Amino acid sequence: MELENLKSQFNSVEASAMSKEMLIAMLSMNQHPTLKRIRIQLLVESTAWILFLALYYNLFDGDQKPVFWNIALIISVGLMLVHNFLGYQVIGHPVKGTNIAQSLKLYLLKLKKYAYLSVSARVFSLCMLLGYFLSGIEVLEQRHYVSIIVFGLITIIQAIVLWRIWAKRIQIISSKYQQLTS
């Protein structure tokens, strides 16, 4: 009886409004709307970081800053570029296993690693940026200490918010995995 109900419900479902070609095009890496938006965000962020890197030396007196802070800034911008690229790779290739449960398990592991990288890359880059801008100051005044405290609080709040976003995403994928395996 239950099998007959299932068959009748399956047969009563209307056909998708999308054509088969449209669905195949969406599955391809270049046509999926979400991946297009991510790629545009990646392109804009990467372009902004590259422009910052190209212009910081002249605009922010890089020649007057210690070599350590120049190298640290370059490394942190490079880390943000790698972070963007890896994020696109993680989101763009979710299916890696032989079945959906294995794919979700592998995707969950990749997502957890990427979440740690995401939060730590942002915090590290913000700290290096602050260190770079403060490195040329000979004598710190009260306003500099206030700026450091405010910047530190903003960095901590950003890290907490970003981690909560990633934890929620990971929890959603984890619950889907639990549903599939139980």
Q: Which residues contact 73 (CB under 8 A, 6 or more apart)?
A: 53, 56, 128, 129, 132
Q: Which residues contact 79 (CB under 8 A, 6 or more apart)?
A: 121, 124, 125
Q: What is the pLDDT of residue 85?
A: 85
User: Is 177 among the domain residues?
Assistant: yes
pTM higher than 0.85? no
User: Is 10 among the domain residues?
Assistant: no
Range of the domain at 81: 17-181
User: Is 11 among the domain residues?
Assistant: no
Q: Which residues contact 78 (CB under 8 A, 6 or more apart)?
A: none
10-residue mean pLDDT series, the chain (182 residues): 68 63 55 68 86 88 88 91 84 73 84 89 90 82 86 92 89 84 80
Q: What is the pLDDT of residue 21?
A: 64
User: Is 33 among the domain residues?
Assistant: yes
Q: What is the pLDDT of residue 24?
A: 58
**Look-up: residue for tokens 């942190």?**
76
User: Is 137 among the domain residues?
Assistant: yes
User: Is 84 among the domain residues?
Assistant: yes
Q: How many domains does the chain have?
A: 1
112, 118, 123, 124 alpha-carbon torsion, rounded to 10°: 100
Taking Cα atoms as reference points, which of 91, 83, 89, 169 lies closest to residue 121?
Answer: 83
User: Is 12 among the domain residues?
Assistant: no
Rounded to an integer, what distance in angstroms lies between the CA atom of residue 120 and that of residue 80?
10
Q: Which residues contact 24 (CB under 8 A, 6 or more apart)?
A: none
User: Is 7 among the domain residues?
Assistant: no
Q: Which residues contact 145 (CB under 8 A, 6 or more apart)?
A: none
